[in-house]
Amino acid sequence: MILHELIDFEILRLLWWLLLGVLLIGFAMTDGFDMGVGALLPFVAKTDTERRVVINTIGPVWEGNQVWFILGGGAIFAAWPPLYAVSFSGFYLAMFVILAALILRPVGFKYRSKRDSARWRETWDWCLFIGGFVPALIFGVAVGNVLQGVPFHLTEILLPVYEGSFFGLLNPFALVCGLASVAMLVMHGSAWLALKTEGVIAERSKVFGTYASVAVIALYALAGLWMALGVTGFSFAEAPVVDGPSNPLLSEVLHEGTWMVAYSERPWIVIAPILGFLGPLGVLYGIRAGREGLTFLASKTAILGMISSVGLTMFPFILPSTTDPRSSLTVWDASSSHLTLFVMFTTTLVFFPLVLAYTAWVYKVLWGKVTEKDVLEQSDSVY
């Protein structure tokens, strides 16, 4: 037996779909609070010292957190090449805006303290705001468009052709998803600041966290209702071949009905939206009870539930097509080869635990609250 045949092609495809979900959720849980803190920076901190406190809560960890984003992009490129080709070409301008905003973060961190000028520092603080708010919004808009389907088709030689426009992505449902994403990450950033700071900054963060939690519940419910009543789903015309060649054009896909049929076919997936609602409710309780650790854990639970609900509802679709449903990309027909998935999976088994162990060690070393005394005693620090 050839070594890679030890694991069925079907199982490997499913495992990489799960791993991709883990990477995206990990990115939202880690770099998500960085973006949330950046979006909150001009509002929870009024003085330069307060802003330095806020920045120092994420300054030592944001670069490591962003690794999850890189790993997610790498996983899409290697495990799901058609998904990478369609999304990164069709969403090119949106990706460019995200990258431009993310570039402002390291520049803002490194440059804001280079001059002792209030206007200079305030300018870079607003750059950090853009670096947090804009990616959070566009990531949510992208999810909203994926749920509705994307206007693309595959040629007979599987060349992807995107037929939409950047402004076409900014449709009402996608914008609701974008606002839900912003609210979710602002809530997460608030929970982080409540955990890592004290005094007036922590109190302001709790206020914003309360508002953001209520917004998450309302927007998540609105998006779910809208998806049930106004978003057409996708389904296979007949049972798909789960271990066949990676060629979407071999399957017949229907663009009709609703995504919500998934909950009658797989009732257990209802746990995801339940967690999506329980998470922000837990944040509200944690804030009122003054339990910062519980608040942060509840915020992570909300992220887990909300992102999982998208993937589980759409499964096995990962990027459906509105202009040619037959071109829709699914878990079963858009992956790399059996051998490629196997080699990547065995490599992941070795290195992924090391990444988790190192990340846990970093957070343990850097644990504790950041105070004004800390930053004032380090007046020559980068942040």
pLDDT tens string 269-290: 999 999 999 999 999 999 999 9
- In-domain check, residue 372: no
Q: Is residue 109 part of a domain?
A: yes
CA atoms within 13 A on the CB side of 12: 26
Block residue for tokens 């960890």: 61
Exposure string for 222-247, b = 16+ CB within 10 A, e = fewer: ebbebbeeebebbbbeeebebeeebe
Q: What values do phi and psi take at 273, rounded to 5?
A: -65, -30
User: Within a domain: residue 370?
Assistant: no
The residue range of the domain holding 155 is 3-361
Q: Is residue 367 part of a domain?
A: no
Strand partners of residue 154: 160
User: Tens of pLDDT along 128-151?
Assistant: 999 999 999 999 999 999 999 999
pLDDT, tens digit (0-9, with 9 covering 90-100), for 157-172:
888 888 888 788 889 9
Among 44-58, 80-94, 218-232, whose mean pLDDT is lowest? 80-94
Residue 283 lies in a domain: yes
Percent of the chain with pLDDT over 70: 97
- Residue 225 pLDDT: 95
Q: How far apart are CA 13 and CA 327, in angstroms?
A: 18
The predicted pLDDT at position 27 comes to: 92
Question: What's the total number of domains in the chain?
Answer: 1
> How far apart are alpha carbons 347 and 151 in whole angstroms?
35
Give domain status of residue 19, yes or no: yes
The confidence score (pLDDT) of residue 68 equals 87
pLDDT at 294 over 80: yes
Q: How many CB atoms lie within 10 A of CB 155?
A: 10
Strand partners, 330: 317
Q: 377 lies in a domain? A: no
355 pLDDT above the threshold of 80: yes
Mean pLDDT for all residues in the chain: 91
On whether residue 373 sits in a domain, the answer given is no
Q: How far apart are CA 329 and CA 159, in angstroms?
A: 13
- pLDDT (mean) for 12-31: 93
pLDDT of residue 370: 86
pLDDT for 358 equals 86
